[in-house]
Amino acid sequence: MQKTLEHLVTAAQTGDQVALEKLVQNVQDQIHHLAMRILVNPDDAQEATQEILILVITRLSTFEGKSTFRTWVYRVAANYLFTAKKVRDKDPGLNFDLFKQDLESGFDPNASPSVASSDTTASAENRVWLNELRISCTMAMLLCLDLKHRLAYVLGDILDLPHSEAAEVLDLSPANYRKRLSRARSEVVAFTSSNCGIANSKAKCSCPRRLPAARKIGRIPEKGSGISPAFALQSAPDYNTVIEDIQGLEKELQAIKLQRATPAFSSPQDFAKKLVSVLTPEKQSTSLPH
């Protein structure tokens, strides 16, 4: 794959639009997945994906091959997500205390804290929405980290980049990256192990207890609404499977397992043809698509 990408990069840099289109198709999913894990909101992630792809295309001539192309793409993406004003303006300003208060602001104390695999009262639809709640909650949890720690955590513990590569993406020394990741990880682990009912059976909040309130306040659609899940996509691990997988794991591994148990978040649209047709060399001074 890397050799193929290198050939595409070389061809695209010499003006081959077919190669450029294929190159964009190769990286748009990884960019969108990163944007979803940093921003959580699907509309914001889609907009960021397009903006980042525009930067990749227009700055491709500056790629000199001193790193892998993947590393370079992640660096372009991370720099945009960290510096773009529209991203910073939409940041919710959460912290773990506020998130805990929100989780505990409404749940059904009479509901069972767990749903057993053999529980015939839990409909297939309910299991989907429990999974939607699980995924949206674990993803939103990362919004409690500031952007620089969120990026470090997502690159290292979710995307599983080698520390040396993640450090290069964020323009940090390996030692400073490890410190940043360690701080982010410790906060995520502490919150998960204390407040998530999947990781801690004694926690006040659990997905089955939280689901009724989440429906009431509009976080999760009401039954029969016809609205499709935004997070519990077909590629997402099943709710019960995730619970079974983390049982017996150490706290740190539980947090990582939960955060990785999401869909691949492929780009919802193919940006390649549209962007390449607009961002040809003779048209790069024209207005960009929105």
Amino acid letter for position 104: E
Distance CA 212, CA 73 (A): 41
pLDDT of residue 276: 86
Do the Cβ atoms of 270 and 222 come closer than 8 Å? no
**Could you count the other beta carbons within 10 Å of the beta carbon of residue 287?**
7
pLDDT of residue 109: 67
Distance CA 21, CA 84 (A): 25
pLDDT of residue 98: 94
152-191 pLDDT, tens digit per residue, is: 999 999 999 999 999 999 999 999 999 999 999 999 999 9
Do the Cβ atoms of 76 and 28 come closer than 8 Å? no
Side-chain-side CA neighbours of 261 within 13 Å: the count stands at 25
Q: Which residues contact 53 (CB under 8 A, 6 or more apart)?
A: 24, 27, 28, 31, 271, 275
CATH T-level topology, domain 2-283: Butyryl-CoA Dehydrogenase, subunit A; domain 3 (1.20.140)
pTM for the whole structure: 0.90
For 175, the token pair is 């030692």
pLDDT of residue 277: 83
Amino acid letter for position 214: A
Domain boundaries, the chain: 2-283
Distance CA 119, CA 113 (A): 13
| pLDDT tens sequence for the chain (290 residues) | 565 888 999 999 999 999 999 999 999 999 999 999 999 999 999 999 999 999 999 999 999 999 999 999 999 999 999 999 999 999 888 999 999 999 888 777 666 666 544 444 457 778 899 999 999 999 999 999 999 999 999 999 999 999 999 999 999 999 999 999 999 999 999 999 999 999 998 998 899 989 988 988 888 888 777 888 999 988 899 998 999 999 889 999 999 999 999 999 999 999 988 898 888 655 443 344 44
Of 58, 79, 57, 75, the residue nearest 66 (C-alpha):
75
Of 17, 12, 109, the residue nearest 61 (C-alpha):
12
52-84 pLDDT, tens digit per residue, is: 999 999 999 999 999 999 999 999 999 999 999
pLDDT of residue 285: 39
**Helix and strand element counts for the chain (H, E):** 14, 0
